[in-house]
Amino acid sequence: MSVPAATLDTVVDPNRLAALATYGILNTAPEKGFDDIVLLARNICETPVALVSLVAGDQQWFKARLGFPECGTDLNASVCVHALVEPDLLVIPDLTRDPRTLTNPLVTGGPGIRFYAGAPLRTPDGKALGSLCVIDVAPRPSGLTPSQAESLRALAGQVMAQMELRRALAEQRRLLGQSEELIRTQAALSGAKGDLGVMLDALVTGAIEAVPHAEGAVIETLDGEELVYRATTGVLVPHAGLRVPLRGSLAGACLLSGEPALVPDVLEDARVKRDLVESLRLRSCVIVPVRRGREAVGVLKLQSSRRRAFTATDLKLAQVLAGTVSAGLAELGEVAARREAEDHLRLAQEAGGVGVFAVGRDGVLHATPEFCRLYGLPPRDSYPSAAFERLVIREDAHLVSTATFRTNGQAPRDVEYRIRRPDTGEVRWIARKASSNATRPASPSASSASRATSPSSGPTGTRWPRASGSRRCCWSSATACATSPKWPR
């Protein structure tokens, strides 16, 4: 039997096949809801065979069947394909007398079917996916009774209701799984502790877990006029490090435009670099920009070797995932900027012999490594302030900022005193300028800052710059300078 051209066009219509695919029902296990429907159809229509038949591009497959041994046939043996183009029931009283079916192998050979009646299974927007049909091995010149025909239509509606419910439940489970995967991905990104490689690996892993029909995922990052496969998973793992041109590639077009893209078939998209399609096993994809702040710095791509594998929901999910890593990249950029500023400050302090400290009203002093070095103490995050105060030469002790002075705000401001370094016994002069901010006398801590340099002369006449910035507490923004001595020990 050959399928008429008009019917075949309907069978292979991409929109119809895509609609069928959204139900995710082909080649699934039997389910009681569908089995009960074919039982009712067989009993009502008094036939030995009843089937829920779904017509794919090259076969018909039976979701439920009674009285028929096979779970499907090729299209050459399908009567249901003819039901796809019927506006209502397709009833053929004698299959040996109808030109569409007289050469059908199921008619001319075993099991020798003779009668067929099928109600189309239509989506809410009218696409026929198959039929609920009843079959007999004897002709039925009178076909179905009006009551049987009405019942077959109603049962076909119940088949579609079951399919819609099944799809809705699957979508609910999918969304729940995606939400859980998003949470896991966000946790992994948080745990990356600023490690860019770990962040990108977590993103592609989370993406392919959240969209299980994706066969591969990649983060492509911008490097000059190229995009580099920086993090890969799935079928794209062997292509890590691949470089594609920024201009003349789909990823480049996405990055330059800043717009996400859902590509049902890359062979129909002029932006795609065709020479990579086969080696990457790429046929459809979703691709979204990855940003750091407002700047696009790469793309996230999910791909499949199948046409039309992705939906608009998948595209939105990819955008959420890319947004997650974008936030991490922005934070990483801020962390890097802070680290760079801190490095510059440290180098400046070391070059100029400047140390900075802060001391609270609890008596705990926090100092930079350079400050500790100038005072001859090992670098540590914190010290009791007394550890520094007891280094002051006895004759200069009245000039030191003590806990009592810091509490009542009477600590000396512009002072110069001597210390004896504990590591070398060397005497050094300390020059400190301070300012006080007593707007919050009840603050649990007070702080100060110290800078140390090496002046070219003794304390008399030395001028030190005032520290920039202040902390809002009782004692704040003090500066101090330490010098190598030019006076005897």
Per-residue pLDDT tens over the stretch 192-204: 666 777 878 888 8
Give yes or no for residue 476 having a pLDDT over 90: no
Report the percent of the chain where pLDDT is more than 70.
Answer: 74
**Of the candidates 356, 364, 359, 357, the residue with the CA atom closest to the CA atom of residue 446:** 359
b vs e for 113-140, b when ≥16 Cβ sit within 10 Å of the residue's Cβ?
bbbbbbbbbbbeeebbbbbbbbbbeeeb
Residue 446: pLDDT band (50, 70, 90) is very low
**Of the candidates 359, 358, 380, 361, the residue with the CA atom closest to the CA atom of residue 369:** 380
Average pLDDT over residues 331-343: 54
Token pair in block for residue 377 = 């103490």
- Rg (alpha carbons) of the chain, rounded to whole number: 40
DSSP 8-class letter at 395: G
pLDDT for 293 equals 73
pLDDT for 157 equals 96
pLDDT for 388 equals 82
Identify which of 201-215, 314-328, 344-358, 394-408 has the greatest average pLDDT: 201-215
Report helix, strand or coil for 275.
helix
Cα 298 to chain centroid distance, Å, stands at 13
Residue 286: pLDDT band (50, 70, 90) is very high
pLDDT for 135 equals 97
Give yes or no for residue 80 having a pLDDT over 90: yes
Yes or no: say if 443 and 407 are a contact pair by the CB < 8 Å rule: no
Yes or no: say if 329 and 321 are a contact pair by the CB < 8 Å rule: no
Report helix, strand or coil for 2.
coil
pLDDT for 445 equals 39
What helix, strand, coil percent values describe the chain, rounded to 5?
40, 25, 40
Between these two residues, 478 and 309, which has the higher pLDDT value?
309
Q: Fold for domain 353-483?
A: Beta-Lactamase (3.30.450)
Give yes or no for residue 17 having a pLDDT over 90: yes
CA distance 325 to 439: 42
Which range has the worst mean pLDDT, 51-55, 186-190, 321-325? Answer: 186-190
The model's pLDDT over 33-60, given as tens digits with 9 standing for 90+, comes to 999 999 999 999 999 999 999 999 889 9
Token pair in block for residue 438 = 């007593």
Give yes or no for residue 379 having a pLDDT over 50: yes
Residue 182: pLDDT band (50, 70, 90) is low
Give yes or no for residue 336 having a pLDDT over 80: no
Token pair in block for residue 164 = 């819609």
Report the percent of the chain where pLDDT is more than 90.
Answer: 43
CATH architecture of the region 191-335? 2-Layer Sandwich (3.30)
The model's pLDDT over 423-445, given as tens digits with 9 standing for 90+, comes to 888 888 776 655 544 444 433 33
What CA–CA distances, in Å, run from 378 to 207, 422, 425? Answer: 48, 10, 15
Average pLDDT over residues 252-271: 92
| Helix 196-210, helix 146-190: angle, nearest 10 | 170
CA distance 332 to 403: 39
What CA–CA distances, in Å, run from 186 to 204, 291, 320, 325, 486? Answer: 12, 16, 11, 8, 59
Average pLDDT over residues 225-232: 92
**What is the domain partition of the chain in residue ranges?**
5-169, 191-335, 353-483
Residues 6+ apart with CB under 8 A from 127: 15, 16, 19, 20
Yes or no: say if 446 and 402 are a contact pair by the CB < 8 Å rule: no
Q: What is the largest CA-CA distance in the chain?
A: 128
Between these two residues, 296 and 360, which has the higher pLDDT value?
296
pLDDT for 481 equals 39
Residues 6+ apart with CB under 8 A from 304: 213, 214, 215, 216, 283, 284, 285, 310
| Helix 196-210, helix 312-352: angle, nearest 10 | 170
pLDDT for 188 equals 65
CATH architecture of the region 5-169? 2-Layer Sandwich (3.30)
Are the folds of 5-169 and 353-483 the same?
Answer: yes
CA distance 266 to 108: 44
Average pLDDT over residues 82-108: 94
Please state, rounded to an integer, the average pLDDT across all residues of the chain.
Answer: 80
Residue 329: pLDDT band (50, 70, 90) is low
pLDDT for 193 equals 66
The model's pLDDT over 402-421, given as tens digits with 9 standing for 90+, comes to 766 666 666 666 777 788 88
Between these two residues, 333 and 283, which has the higher pLDDT value?
283
**Of the candidates 216, 287, 218, 293, the residue with the CA atom closest to the CA atom of residue 254:** 287
Residue 63: pLDDT band (50, 70, 90) is very high
Between these two residues, 132 and 168, which has the higher pLDDT value?
132
Give yes or no for residue 302 having a pLDDT over 90: yes
Yes or no: say if 7 and 82 are a contact pair by the CB < 8 Å rule: yes
**Of the candidates 241, 220, 224, the residue with the CA atom closest to the CA atom of residue 303:** 220
Average pLDDT over residues 199-213: 84
Token pair in block for residue 98 = 């109808």
Query: For 6-58, where are the E strands, in sequence order?
Result: 49-55
pLDDT for 474 equals 30
